């Protein structure tokens, strides 16, 4: 338990992605099987059990710690599980603490009524950090700032692999992942997952830059709308359907309204959208359906999910990935016409005669649900990862607004001595003839290191109030903010929420009084 507890402890305090990767790699490198595999499971899909322990733990601690002292401790610490871990009596002498794998295998078999006793004997043998880690593990939520993908990235990097290589085999394997580590360490071949409905690494696009556009021969590319949903891969086989996000997370449990109707054998690529009366709804509506463990009937009725398909990786037993895009597309069309899976349609191709025409279309389209245009090489195979020169995304030009810096917050990690996270506002009138700034968004990138240094200095010289890591500044610095869209929001004071805001330019030259008004932003709301 010690190595895993130490890892969780360090991770919980480490903000930097690279540092987290290094800590996890160190753990995988120095911890033997099967413990490290269970560690990886805990960091990714979670362990296959969780226990409602609140009552049990309360009773257990009451038998060991004076109730008044425990209550004062819990109030001070602010977290019951941590207070239990800290106040639980330490072992009299160093005894053999259980290994993570022992804990997991005993938990898999334990009778609910015997759980308290088992847990007590473990806690008696563990130190404070281990007790804290065990309680986190049992209650299901680690919350150490590590995504499943990051943990897989760390494992992959041990062998110099890309994370996609691990993603590809991931859903065909089960904890404690011994074949995975054997492969990573070069002791065994790649695990065989041919027949499992597993995640296949997705083909990703590059942003279309001006030189790309200039050099592009449109006859070699197919054009499609870029839909403003989330990219998904549908992997269905034998009545079982997985819906994978771009990062390989299985999300089908949130979308029974689409997957429960699928009865086919294929691996398809498409966009998950919310469709209302035949129209693509805003991303805001889609967000109501994301990151939910369970979904209510009401949500499914109000925000019906739909998948717009644009590519096929496998149909029945045939792996289409080596075939050119146009052939895969034709196969997808034939298959869709034959199978007609409900709640799906095909993303139509845009037929244009010239680059000029396409550019006009790109510049003029501001329809809800469309983010821009995709360009895909007609003769290109389906390659996992982000191959060069194959697929381009041509996002429509961003919206812009001149905003006034209102608050600056210190960043984390490398940026912890810099005020690098900015909340900015737009003007609005208040009764009595004056006006005020109302916050409209927050951005923490879009500027160079040299600009960061300058803004940091400006913030320090123009602070009017400090709240911990946050400084309120005098209205004096105008930021030209770029964003992809703006939507109504009841969660924000301004009543609007920007999508993907970033600092486009710093307008040192522009007086704050001449920055934009909230009305201008509201006028940009679509639909």
Partner 1 sequence: MQLPQKFESWLRRDAAGLCCAPGGFHIDPVRAVPRAIITHGHSDHARAGHGAVLATRETIAVMKARLGPDCASTFQETRYGEPIEMNGVTVRLAPAGHILGSAQVVMDHGGRRAVVSGDYKRRSDPTCAPFELVRCDLFVTEATFGLPVFRHGTDDHEIGRLLTSVRTFADRTHLIGVYGLGKAQRVIALLRAFGYERPIWLHGALKSMCDLYAEAGVELGPLAMVADAEGKLPGEIVLCPPSALKDRWTRRLTEPLTAFASGWMRVRARARQRGVELPLIISDHCDWPELVQTIAESEAEEVWVTHGREDALVHQIGLMGKRGRALALLGYEEEEGE
* CB 86, min distance to partner 1, A: 4
| Contact pattern for partner 1 over residues 121 through 140, marking x by CB under 8 A | ------xx------------
Considering only 79-87, 178-186, 306-314, 344-352, which stretch makes contact with partner 1 by CB under 8 A? 79-87
Rule CB under 8 A: say whether 142 interacts with partner 1. no
Radius of gyration (C-alpha) of the chain in whole angstroms: 27
Q: Which residues pair with 424 in a beta bridge?
A: 405, 441
Residue with tokens 């033997």: 32
Rule CB under 8 A: say whether 416 interacts with partner 1. yes
Contact yes or no for 408/422 (Cβ under 8 A): yes
Considering only 7-15, 168-176, 181-189, 316-324, which stretch makes contact with partner 1 by CB under 8 A? 7-15
Considering only 272-280, 331-339, 373-381, 405-413, which stretch makes contact with partner 1 by CB under 8 A? 405-413
Tell which positions 318-377 bind partner 1, by CB under 8 A. Answer: none
- Among positions 1, 5, 23, 258, the unique one binding partner 1 when judged by CB under 8 A: 23
- Among positions 412, 445, 508, 520, the unique one binding partner 1 when judged by CB under 8 A: 412
What is the C-alpha separation between 448 and 438, in angstroms, rounded? 26
Instruction: Give the torsion through C-alpha atoms of 260, 265, 267, 270, to 10 deg.
Output: -40
Instruction: Give the torsion through C-alpha atoms of 336, 342, 343, 348, to 10 deg.
Output: 20
- Among positions 83, 222, 266, 313, the unique one binding partner 1 when judged by CB under 8 A: 83
In sequence order, what are the residues at sequence separation of 6 or more whose Cβ sits closer than 8 angstroms to the Cβ of residue 332?
A: 268, 309, 310, 311, 312, 315, 346
- Among positions 3, 10, 39, 477, the unique one binding partner 1 when judged by CB under 8 A: 10
Rule CB under 8 A: say whether 12 interacts with partner 1. yes
Comparison of 87 and 487: residue with beta carbon closer to partner 1: 87
- Among positions 4, 28, 42, 87, the unique one binding partner 1 when judged by CB under 8 A: 87
Rule CB under 8 A: say whether 22 interacts with partner 1. yes
Rule CB under 8 A: say whether 26 interacts with partner 1. yes
Q: What is Dmax (Cα atoms) for the chain?
A: 82
Comparison of 68 and 214: residue with beta carbon closer to partner 1: 68
The dihedral sign for the CA sequence 75, 77, 81, 87: negative
Three-state helix/strand/coil letters over 215-227: HCCHHHEEEEEEE
- Please count the CA atoms within 13 angstroms of the CA of 203 that sit on its side-chain side: 25
Antiparallel, parallel or unpaired: β 240-245 and 279-280: unpaired
Binding site for partner 1 (CB under 8 A): 6, 10, 12-15, 19, 22-23, 26, 65-66, 68-70, 72-73, 76-79, 82-83, 86-87, 90, 127-128, 410, 412-414, 416-417, 469
């Amino acid at each position: 338990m010690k190595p895993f507890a130490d890892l969780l402890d360090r991770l919980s305090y480490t903000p930097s992605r690279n540092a987290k990767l290094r800590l996890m790699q160190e753990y995988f490198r120095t911890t033997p099987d099967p413990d490290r595999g269970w560690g990886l499971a805990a960091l990714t899909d979670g362990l296959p059990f969780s226990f409602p322990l609140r009552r049990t733990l309360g009773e257990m601690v009451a038998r060991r710690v004076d109730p008044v002292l425990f209550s004062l401790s819990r109030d001070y610490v602010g977290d019951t599980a941590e207070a239990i871990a800290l106040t639980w009596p330490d072992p009299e002498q160093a005894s053999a603490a259980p290994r993570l794998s022992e804990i997991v295998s005993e938990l898999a078999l334990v009778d609910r009524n015997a759980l308290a006793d088992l847990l007590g004997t473990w806690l008696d043998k563990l130190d404070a950090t281990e007790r804290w880690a065990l309680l986190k593990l049992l209650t299901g939520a680690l919350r150490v700032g590590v995504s499943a993908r990051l943990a897989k990235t760390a494992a992959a990097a041990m062998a110099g692999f890309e994370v996609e290589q691990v993603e590809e085999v991931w859903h065909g394997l089960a904890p404690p992942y011994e074949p995975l580590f054997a492969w990573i360490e070069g002791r065994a071949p790649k695990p065989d997952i041919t027949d499992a409905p597993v995640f296949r690494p997705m083909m990703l696009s590059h942003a279309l830059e001006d030189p790309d556009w200039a050099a592009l021969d449109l006859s070699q590319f197919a054009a499609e709308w870029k839909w403003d949903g989330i990219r998904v891969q549908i992997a269905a086989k034998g009545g079982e359907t997985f819906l994978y996000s771009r990062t390989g997370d299985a999300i089908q449990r949130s979308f029974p309204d689409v997957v429960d109707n699928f009865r086919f054998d294929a691996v398809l690529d498409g966009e998950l959208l919310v469709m209302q009366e035949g129209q693509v709804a805003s991303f805001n509506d889609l967000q109501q359906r994301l990151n939910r463990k369970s979904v209510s009937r009401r949500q499914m009725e109000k925000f019906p999910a739909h998948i717009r398909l644009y590519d096929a990786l496998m149909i029945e037993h045939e792996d289409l990935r080596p075939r050119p895009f146009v052939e895969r597309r034709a196969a997808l069309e034939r298959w869709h016409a034959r199978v007609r899976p409900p709640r799906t349609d095909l993303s139509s191709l845009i037929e244009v005669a010239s680059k000029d025409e396409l550019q006009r279309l790109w510049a003029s389209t501001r329809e809800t649900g469309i983010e821009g245009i995709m360009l895909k090489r007609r003769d290109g195979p389906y390659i996992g990862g982000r191959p060069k020169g194959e697929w381009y995304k041509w996002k429509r030009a961003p919206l812009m607004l001149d905003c006034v810096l209102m608050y600056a917050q210190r960043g984390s990690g490398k940026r912890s001595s810099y005020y690098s996270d900015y909340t900015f506002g737009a003007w609005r009138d208040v009764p009595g003839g004056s006006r005020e700034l109302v916050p409209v968004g927050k951005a923490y990138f879009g500027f160079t290191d040299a600009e960061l240094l300058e803004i940091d200095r400006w913030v320090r010289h123009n602070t009017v109030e400090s709240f911990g890591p946050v400084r309120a500044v005098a209205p004096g610095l105008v930021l030209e903010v770029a964003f992809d869209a703006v939507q109504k929001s009841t969660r924000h004071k301004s009543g609007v929420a920007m999508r993907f805001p970033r600092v486009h330019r710093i307008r040192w030259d522009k007086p704050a009084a001449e920055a934009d008004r909230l009305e201008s932003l509201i006028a940009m709301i679509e639909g």
